[in-house]
Amino acid sequence: MSVLTEEMRQKIRDLCSRYPSKQAVTLPALHMVPDAMRQVSREAIVEIAELLDLHPAEVHDTMSFYGFFRDERAPLGKHRLWVCRSLSCMLRGGEQLLSDLCDRMHVAPGGTTADGKVTLEFAECLGACEGAPCILVDEDCYMNQSPQSVEQLVNKL
């Protein structure tokens, strides 16, 4: 049984015409999987490799190069919360925000809350230095964060 849906498989096939080689589709194909499954399983790696005429090791090499992807040993929570640790964010309280969040959620950076709702991570830069300190929740960036605003945001999650 396939772990990739037919819709995901078709999207991967469709991407092949937009890139110079099938191998170039590896990264966009990998991005589809955690969005749907919160992890990239070995089975998904094998299926992506088959679709792209690659060896599974080539897909795994791409996946393991980036810290963004998680395998079945450490799946993502329902939400992914990144705290920026760039210099501008650190100088404006980002490190304290990260520490407070770790304490509040009872996880270390990279960990997922016991209820599986939130994976807390740090990013070296989110590219929003003008709004330091900032955090990214899933795909939404929140700038000029304070302990109070982060508390409200976490309560929503």
Options 1.10.10, 1.25.40, 2.60.120, 1.10.443; which CATH number does 6-65 get? 1.10.10
Q: How far apart are CA 132 and CA 70, in angstroms?
A: 27
Q: Which residue has the tokens 């407070």?
A: 100
Tokens at 120, concatenated = 């807390």
Mean pLDDT (the chain, rounded):
91
Q: How far does Cα 2 stand from its chain's mean position?
A: 23
What is the average pLDDT across 16-40? 89
Q: Which fold has domain 79-156?
A: Glutaredoxin (3.40.30)
Q: 84 falls in which pLDDT band (50, 70, 90)?
A: very high
| pLDDT of res. 144 | 96
pLDDT digits (tens, 9 = 90+) for 113-154: 999 999 999 988 899 999 999 999 988 999 999 988 888 888
List the beta strands (DSSP E) in 74-139: 79-84, 118-123, 135-137
Return the amino acid letter for 116.
Answer: G
Mean pLDDT of 17-44: 90
Task: Report pTM.
Answer: 0.72
pLDDT at residue 114, as a whole number: 92
Question: What residue spans define the domains of the chain?
Answer: 6-65, 79-156
Our CA dihedral for 39, 44, 49, 51, rounded to 10 degrees, sits at: -120
Task: End-to-end CA distance of the chain: give it in Å, rounded.
Answer: 33
122 closest CA partner among 153, 101, 143: 101
The H-or-E segment that residue 59 falls in is helix 56-65
pLDDT at position 142, please? Answer: 95
